[in-house]
């Protein structure tokens, strides 16, 4: 009889082990690091239909607007709680001369957008328009200065024009253009992708040039240096080494990484894909963890106190442009797959909040992984929009340390973790966001909450019938958030079944209304 029992236990052990490994221990009382709200930032470049025919339609448009900005976009962004917006680029930034975009619109010179589609634009959206739009949506502005084709004088005068209250030619010019008081702009980027479209520079050359530009942009409170492309660790090494005695000139170092299945240039459809393509995309977004860790290790060597933030100011999915559109406009649809990429990416940024201080998904409207798509009078909120709205609970919350043990899954011999998660506490509410990227299997997981006691629970979920589902014009919305039932905590533990291919928010509190 004893042998039979041992055999029975041995046969069941793999099942017990599988169930036991899906567990998350959360140490609420150890929450110290703040998740900077700017991690939930966005990016608007003069590219395709992002600015023109996107967020800005002009005051004479039949589309309802406030001073030319689409009213429905303003309302949607405020509801999503957008904290920050980066502008004017991107590659466009290093061809942009800011004085072309001020003064009476009728007298502004037109320019050709050499990077994106070769189209001519009239500069009707410039400094005043951008900063006014940021005020309308309650977002912190992030202005990217021109280093590639600009001058130190041009950059320093732009900073002065925006931020100075002293009597000077630039403040006089701003007042002539209708703005008496300076704007409160904290973030200034000095150049963009200087290793590529921003000048094809070496890191040694750019580091010296950066010090020169930064020295004369004293009105910029928080200066962000152009950082590495993906895994160019040498760029980070050179920048940190050459700035180590001038750290007062650099408060942030950017990192650009796009989730691109297979090879460059992007050639895979945003909507027509199978589970193998899904898996490759999930693999690529998980690579963000490795990039942040390795670049942070280099930064730690020169900046152990973490005074310089790692700013992931361009990230998101990049697929082949939608058929029938200008390929230079980078217009793509946005499916449930994009929602999982957004959720996993944001979880990674949250969990590295000690070094990552900003992240701006590309781009806000009609371009790449947009949160909003427009066509005439119609507006579509994409799956990515709903994820950002869900994750807003983490903004400026305290990061909760945790230990996660969860099962993996395999597709086409490629193995990945099923669960991505992050947790925070704010105003007495514990927020746990989870992504189950396994497209086929629900995952049951037990949450063991330590260091705090909660009596109430509620949840929210985003999923769809198919991995290729998306929201479209004509009211065809198939991917959106709904309530997710969560049982009340019992003895500090909560068991949750996270459906396949879903993003979930669970909130624990001691208030029935929380």
Annotated active-site positions, please? 193, 314
Q: Is 455 helix (H, G, I), strand (E, B) or coil?
A: coil
Tell me whether the omega of the peptide bond preceding residue 60 falls within 30 degrees of 0, making it cis: no
- Written as one string, the DSSP assignment of 174-221 is HHHTT--SPP---EEEE-S-TTTTTT---HHHHHHHHHHHHHT-TT-S
Distance of CA 438 to the CA centre of its chain: 23
- Residue 145 token pair: 């200065």
Distance CA 138, CA 84 (A): 8
Longest CA–CA separation in the chain, Å: 95
Q: Is 111 helix (H, G, I), strand (E, B) or coil?
A: strand
- Residue 230 token pair: 């993906």
Which of 287, 281, 265, 350 shows the shortest CA–CA distance to 317? 281
Which of 37, 29, 18, 21 shows the shortest CA–CA distance to 402? 29
The DSSP secondary-structure symbol of 470 reads B
Structure-token match 């005051």, residue found: 59
Tell me whether the omega of the peptide bond preceding residue 90 falls within 30 degrees of 0, making it cis: yes
Q: Is 287 helix (H, G, I), strand (E, B) or coil?
A: helix
Distance CA 465, CA 479 (A): 9
Q: Is 342 helix (H, G, I), strand (E, B) or coil?
A: helix
Burial 355-379 (b: 16+ CB within 10 A, else e): bbbbbbbbbbbbbbbbbbbbeeeeb
- Residue 208 token pair: 């010296």
Distance CA 382, CA 469 (A): 11
Q: Is 295 helix (H, G, I), strand (E, B) or coil?
A: helix
CA angle 30, 32, 36 (to 5 degrees): 140
Distance CA 7, CA 279 (A): 37
Judge contact between 39 and 351, C-beta under 8 A.
Answer: no
- Residue 66 token pair: 């406030």
Q: Rg of the chain over CA atoms, in angstroms? A: 24
CA angle 449, 19, 448 (to 5 degrees): 5
CA angle 255, 257, 261 (to 5 degrees): 170
Tell me whether the omega of the peptide bond preceding residue 88 falls within 30 degrees of 0, making it cis: yes
């Amino acid at each position: 009889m004893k042998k039979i029992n041992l055999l029975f236990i041995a046969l069941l052990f793999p099942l017990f082990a599988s169930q036991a490994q899906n567990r998350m221990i959360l140490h609420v009382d150890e929450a110290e690091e703040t998740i900077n709200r700017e991690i939930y930032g966005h990016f608007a470049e003069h590219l395709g239909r992002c600015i023109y025919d996107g967020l800005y339609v002009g005051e004479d448009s039949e589309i309802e607007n406030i001073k030319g900005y689409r009213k429905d976009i303003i309302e949607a962004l405020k509801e999503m709680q957008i904290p920050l917006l980066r502008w004017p680029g991107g590659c466009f930034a290093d061809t942009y001369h800011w004085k072309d975009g001020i003064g009476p619109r009728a007298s502004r010179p037109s320019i050709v957008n050499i990077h994106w589609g070769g189209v001519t634009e009239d500069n009707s959206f410039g400094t005043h328009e951008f900063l006014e739009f940021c005020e309308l949506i309650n977002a912190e502005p992030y202005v990217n200065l021109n280093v590639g084709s600009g001058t130190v004088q041009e950059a320093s005068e732009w900073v002065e024009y925006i931020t100075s209250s002293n009597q000077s030619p630039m403040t006089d010019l701003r007042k002539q253009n209708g703005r008496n008081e300076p704007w409160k702009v904290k973030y200034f980027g000095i150049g963009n992708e200087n290793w590529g479209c921003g000048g094809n520079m070496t890191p040694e050359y750019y580091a010296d040039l950066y010090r020169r530009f930064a020295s004369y942009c004293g009105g910029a409170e928080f200066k962000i240096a152009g950082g590495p492309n993906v895994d160019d660790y040498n760029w980070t090494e050179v920048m940190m080494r050459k700035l180590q005695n001038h750290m007062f000139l650099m408060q942030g170092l950017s990192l650009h990484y796009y989730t691109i299945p297979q090879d460059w240039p992007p050639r895979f459809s945003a909507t027509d894909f199978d589970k193998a393509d899904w898996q490759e995309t999930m693999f690529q977004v998980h690579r963000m963890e490795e990039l942040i860790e390795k670049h942070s290790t280099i930064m730690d060597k020169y900046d152990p106190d973490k005074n310089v933030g790692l700013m992931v100011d361009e990230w998101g999915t990049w697929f082949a442009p939608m058929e029938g559109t200008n390929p230079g406009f980078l217009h793509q649809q946005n499916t449930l797959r994009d929602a999982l990429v957004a959720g996993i990416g944001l979880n990674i940024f949250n969990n590295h909040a000690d070094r990552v201080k900003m992240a701006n998904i590309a781009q806000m409207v009609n371009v790449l992984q947009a949160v909003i798509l427009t066509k005439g009078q119609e507006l579509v909120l994409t799956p990515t929009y709903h994820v950002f709205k869900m994750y807003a609970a983490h903004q400026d919350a305290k990061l909760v340390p945790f230990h996660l043990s969860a099962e993996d899954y395999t597709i086409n011999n490629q193995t990945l973790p099923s669960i991505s998660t992050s947790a925070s506490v704010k105003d007495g509410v514990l927020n746990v966001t989870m992504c189950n990227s396994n497209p086929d299997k629900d995952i049951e997981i037990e949450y063991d909450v330590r260091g705090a006691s909660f009596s109430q629970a509620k949840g929210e979920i985003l999923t769809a019938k198919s991995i290729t589902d998306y929201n479209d014009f004509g009211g065809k919305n198939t991917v959106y958030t709904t309530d997710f039932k969560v049982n009340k905590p019992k003895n500090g533990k909560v068991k949750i079944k996270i459906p396949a291919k879903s993003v979930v928010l669970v909130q624990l509190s001691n208030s029935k209304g929380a």
